[in-house]
Amino acid sequence: MTVKNDFEDILMGRRSVKVFDPEVKIPHEEMDEIIRKATKAPSSINMQPWRFVVVESEEGKDKLRPLVQFNTRQNDTSAAMIVIFGDMLNYEYAEDIYGAAVEQGYMPQEIKDDLVGRFVEMYKQLTPAQMNDIVKVDSSLAAMQLMLVARQYGYDTNPIGGFDHASIAETFGLDPERYVPVVIVAIGKGMEEGKRTSRLPVEKIRSYH
Amino acid sequence: MTVKNDFEDILMGRRSVKVFDPEVKIPHEEMDEIIRKATKAPSSINMQPWRFVVVESEEGKDKLRPLVQFNTRQNDTSAAMIVIFGDMLNYEYAEDIYGAAVEQGYMPQEIKDDLVGRFVEMYKQLTPAQMNDIVKVDSSLAAMQLMLVARQYGYDTNPIGGFDHASIAETFGLDPERYVPVVIVAIGKGMEEGKRTSRLPVEKIRSYH
């Protein structure tokens, strides 16, 4: 259930929280809603390469624990650890995505046929490094929205980049060549305030041309 | 000036807009405010690797035009094309970032000295591919917030991944080894509604464990 809708507060008040109330779980219906909103994020040629592995059970967390060495508190107390992967074969869903756009009246059939053909051809020609970049950028856009939407629903989050990237796909039965890990978002009801952190002054990080 | 603050509307109503009112420019003070809020995004060990090259002048856009072949409309009509780079030597700012945290009372000096030492050591040992992943993920988190904050200020955006990645750093006088391009965000006062696009059903993109 959404508990706040104040954009300024949701965005500016977000802080990484590392200890959660272990009693609080997130119902699947609500989690699906949060993910659905997160994936309103844009993606390159709308290919939506983000995939969410929601680790919430005792068994799942036992599997994840050795992979998140410096972040076991989050693993132990969060409602879920959402492991976000990028799908290197995302274009296999091109027909689904653009077919739905035609059904929903967003795009004429002829345009769709032309686009899907060209987009799939283009994506197949990318090097693995180029596709890796694309799926990481796109999946991160959705990850940021996920962290903000979580606050709309009264939850806190902590994005985790430090984990065993090499073995996490296989740990959850995924092909590591196809699914590249992007970030883990721990989510739950925060039991602490979250530390304040500094930001570089804007003058140091932007230039006008 | 902020014109809306409704989170649900800002998030769910965002669509990519590709034609802007060419008469509308964004004052630097306001642009700085938008960037400042965008960079409240989290980043790996708070190293804030995002760098914003705001291309807004005739001369700047002339330089950018040949690099954004399929997106010249946005280049010609937007208030600015914000080219977001990831700084591969981001840890050179570690002292600035953590020093400010001490000054602002967020962290004791001893903790800061210990952390900066360990973090810089750790980051220096990463391979270029690992650092590339980190700066792309982190910078994308800020990019997503930028697109949402833009709506708070009454602007529309279009994220652009298709541009000449190889030559964009040098075009704006940056060392291409140090600054890797992440995404361009066109920003301005939209002159069209923005097309609706479909999303994959949540059941196809998430699993519970």
| Band of pLDDT at residue A121, cut at 50, 70 and 90 | very high
Determine the residue of chain B that is closest to A141 in CA distance: B144
Interchain contact, A148 vs B28, CB within 8 Å: no
The gap between the terminal CA atoms of chain B, to the nearest Å, is: 45
The gap between the terminal CA atoms of chain A, to the nearest Å, is: 45
Domain spans of chain A, in order of start: 7-87+127-204
Residue B81 β-bridge partners: B55, B186
Quote the pTM value: 0.98
Name which of B199, B203, B204 to mutate to probe chain A: the one with the most chain A Cβ atoms within 10 A of its Cβ: B199
Residue A180 β-bridge partners: A86
Amino acid at A98: Y
Is the CB of residue A76 less than 8 Å from the CB of residue A61? yes
Interchain contact, A199 vs B40, CB within 8 Å: yes
Interchain contact, B52 vs A205, CB within 8 Å: yes
The pLDDT of residue A162 is 95
* pLDDT tens-digit map of B29-39: 999 999 999 99
Interchain contact, B206 vs A35, CB within 8 Å: yes
Question: Which residues in chain A have their CB less than 8 angstroms from residue B42's CB?
Answer: 14, 16, 147, 159
Rounded to 10 deg, the angle between the A94-103 and A109-124 helix axes is 160
* pLDDT tens-digit map of B105-122: 999 999 999 999 999 999
Interchain contact, B145 vs A149, CB within 8 Å: no
Cα–Cα distance, A67 to A52 (Å, whole number): 17
Q: What is the mean pLDDT of residues B183-205?
A: 96
Q: What is the ipTM of this complex?
A: 0.98
Name which of B156, B179, B209 to mutate to probe chain A: the one with the most chain A Cβ atoms within 10 A of its Cβ: B209
Architecture of the A7-87+127-204 domain: 3-Layer(aba) Sandwich (3.40)
- Token look-up 């954004």 returns B68
- The DSSP secondary-structure symbol of A68 reads -
Let me know if B135 is exposed, middle or buried by CB neighbors in 10 A (0-12, 13-18, 19+): buried
Interchain contact, A40 vs B12, CB within 8 Å: yes
Class of domain B7-89+126-192: alpha beta
